[in-house]
Amino acid sequence: VPFLAEPLIAQILPQHIGKLLVGRYPQIRGLKAVKALELSEMEQGRYADVLFNVICVACIPFIAPAYMHQTFLALLVSHIYIYSYDQVKVLRYVVKFDYGSPDVHYL
């Protein structure tokens, strides 16, 4: 459920509030306006969650084999949603995405 609300809370709402603030107050100009409308950076903590979900699904046959189809379907749907959202996020809402730095290894 938190993944469903993330686009609204993390991208759309802050951008909308920034536009309202910049449009309402004439003293917010130049660098201040740019900072108010600044986009966020892409974080990679989600990919640790994705790996954890795959490991949990790999354990399902040993714990509750009757629910394998529902579990694999939920995993597939959630990963398609995460992939689609990340695609849009990287192309539209992220100022930089640096996955080639040493910081990637320290989630």
Q: Give me the helices (H) in 1-107, please.
A: 2-6, 13-24, 31-36, 45-63, 68-88
Give residue 103's pLDDT band: very low, low, confident or very high (50, 70, 90).
Answer: low
| pLDDT tens per residue, range 53-99 | 889 888 888 888 888 888 899 999 988 988 898 888 888 878 777 66
pLDDT surpassing 70 at residue 104 = no
User: Is the pLDDT higher at 58 or at 4?
Assistant: 58
Distance between CA atoms of 73 and 53, rounded to whole angstroms?
13
- The predicted model scores a pTM of 0.71
